[in-house]
Amino acid sequence: MNGWIKRIIPRQLTSRLRAARAYLQLRPEKRALIQEIITSGGGLHGESFRFFEDGLCTIHNADFADDARFIRAYAAGEATGSWKGWPLRWRAYLICWCAEWATKMDGDFVECGVNKGGNARMIIEYLGHQSYNRNFYLLDTFEGFSKDLLLPEEEKSVAARYRYPNCLEEVRKTFAPYPFVKIIPGTVPATLPEIEASRIAFLSIDMNCVAPEIEAATYLWDRLVPGGIIILDDYGFSQHHLQKAAFDHFAEAKGVRIMSLPTGQGLIFKPMRLAAPA
């Protein structure tokens, strides 16, 4: 067996973190080979892994990945180039699930942190734009971080990790066929007053740093309808621990709890009725 494969496949549970880090450093073709090895021969409790992607490996059912509607929607999102070739189907599926849940509520959709529009384009395809009867607000600088909003630790970690191109015109072109999409370029929180929605059913937050994310959640919380949902893309990722701590504090102040998911995402459902403070 090649030496690099030996370094990746862990022999004991205690080596899994090191293995995951090494896996992420591999070229895509080597990651694909590792995935093939694991899904074909590895597993737990006598069962082969059915899903191995984006930091998530499981023997459990993942049949959403074979659903024709999801496949079509994921392909539409992927075509925007937002995800830079990184496979994230389970995360994407949860976004689609949350969006479909939100259609049962009376309210608009808002996404803070858009990049090239992969998630929004996927949602529109998944739900079917012909029956889409609400506005979808997309807020982003469309050119990367506003460094004056970054904490010192974020300047060293998050800002160094992510690089975003100027993509505003590309995004406008992507969503030109969809008049219900309202593109709001600029820095959050300065652009939040441009959201005209009085009722919000779906709020996606993915800006990779604390200040604009908490500002967005705080500003829009009262507009989130009962049963509405906030999906936090970065909540469970170790490099985004500052965001997790900030949102844990936010949730406690609002009397809710964040559902932590193995995809790294976090979910907040606004209760149908908030309990009175003790």
Q: Decide if pLDDT at 184 tops 60.
A: yes
d(CA 226, CA 272): 5
Q: Residue 56's pLDDT is what?
A: 83
> How is 103-147 classified by DSSP, letter by letter?
TTSS-EEEEE--TTTHHHHHHHHHH-GGG--S-EEEEE-SSS--G
Q: What is the pLDDT of residue 276?
A: 58
Chain segment 188-231, per-residue pLDDT in tens: 999 999 999 999 999 999 999 999 999 999 999 999 999 999 99
Shared domain for 85 and 172, answered yes or no, is yes
Work out the angle at residue 110's Cα, subtended by the Cα atoms of residues 106 and 111, and round it to the nearest 5 degrees.
150
Is the model's pLDDT at 176 over the cut of 90?
yes
**Interatomic CA distance for residues 80 and 119, integer angstroms:** 9
Residue 8 parent element (H or E): helix 3-8
Predicted local confidence at residue 15, as pLDDT? 45
Q: Which pLDDT tens digit goes with each residue over 71-127?
A: 999 999 999 999 988 899 999 999 999 999 999 999 999 999 999 999 999 999 999
Of the three residues 32, 58, 84, the one that is the final residue of a domain is 58
User: Higher pLDDT residue, 183 or 30?
Assistant: 183
**Both 48 and 134 in a single domain?**
no
Domains: count for the chain: 2
Same domain, yes or no: 118 and 185 = yes
Could you tell me if residue 224 is inside a domain? yes
Tell me: do 21 and 78 sit in the same domain: no
Under the banding of pLDDT at 50, 70 and 90, the label for residue 38 is low
pLDDT at 60: 87
123 domain-assigned: yes
Question: Are 183 and 261 part of one and the same domain?
Answer: yes
Q: What is the pLDDT of residue 140?
A: 97
- Could you tell me if residue 156 is inside a domain? yes
**Is residue 277 assigned to a domain?**
no
CATH code, domain with 180: 3.40.50.150
- CB distance 229 to 202 below 8 Å: yes
Closest to 90 in 3D by CA, of 234, 270, 256, 264: 264
Residues 6+ positions from 53 with CB-CB distance below 8 Å = 35, 87, 88, 89, 90
- Contact partners, residue 169, CB within 8 Å, separation at least 6: none
Q: Are residues 21 and 120 in the same domain?
A: no
For residues 180 and 208, membership in a common domain is answered with yes
Q: In this structure, is residue 170 part of a structural domain?
A: yes
CA 65 to each of CA 44, 49, 53, 158: distance values in angstroms, whole numbers, following the listed order: 21, 14, 12, 30
- State residue 247's pLDDT score: 97
pLDDT, tens digit (0-9, with 9 covering 90-100), for 116-144: 999 999 999 999 977 678 999 999 999 98
**Cα radius of gyration rounded to whole Å, the chain:** 19
Task: Give the tokens for residue 252.
Answer: 């406690």
Give the domain range for residue 174.
64-269
* 161, part of any domain: yes
Which among 58, 82, 105 is the end of a domain? 58
Is the domain of 130 the same as that of 162? yes
276 inside domain: no
Cis peptide before 189 (omega within 30 of 0): yes
- Which pTM value belongs to this model? 0.83
pLDDT, tens only, 146-169? 888 888 888 877 766 788 889 999
Tokens of 27: 């070229």
User: Comparing 34 with 95, which gets the higher pLDDT?
Assistant: 95
Q: What average pLDDT does the structure give for the chain?
A: 87
